[in-house]
Amino acid sequence: MRGVNAGCCDAYPYGIVGHAYPVFAPILWARVLWLTGLARCLRRSALGMEAARQLYGKLLAVPGAGGDLYRCAVRLEEEHAHEARQQRGAAADAACKRVTELYEAALGVHGATEWDLWLGYARWLAACGKGAGQVYWRATKALADADGFVEAYRAMMAQQ
């Protein structure tokens, strides 16, 4: 499945259905890829970003929405926020708030196991000019095994 719609989700969908239903993971992963592609098309079409938000909003409301589905929704919103920040104003603030809310929702569901969500959130806050120290602290407390996160976070901060 790697390489299909690689612009959105590059990793195998370990978070889509959790570890309880590994037989269904490839089927659900194909659905996530298809819907993600559809959401990107909606975003770029006349229907716009609002149609894409409605689509991923309905998918995230379904119990068992995986980490990869959250990652794809976050990436869509990050792209939109990047465009909005170039224009500045109230639209940029609203776009940044939506990205933050998506990260918080994702971490509420998958924050104990998926350290890359924490790292993405810290990276987003740093890109927005906000401090990521609180995200670091929360991640080290919430993650069952925070070693990978700590190492990646330090590498990220050393690059800035």
Q: How confident is the model at residue 33 (pLDDT cuts 50, 70, 90)?
A: low
Of 108, 28, 32, 18, which is closest to residue 75 (Cα–Cα)?
A: 32
pLDDT tens profile 66-120: 778 888 888 888 888 888 888 777 878 888 888 999 999 889 988 999 999 999 9
pLDDT (tens digit, 9 = 90+) per residue, 114-126?
A: 999 999 999 999 8
Instruction: Say how many C-beta atoms besides its own lie within 10 A of residue 152's C-beta.
Output: 16
pLDDT at 121: 95
- For the chain, the average pLDDT equals 74
Q: Which among 46, 43, 51 is positioned nearest to 75, based on CA atoms?
A: 43
Among 112, 100, 117, 101, CA closest to 152: 117
pLDDT for the residue numbered 17: 37
Model-level pTM? 0.67
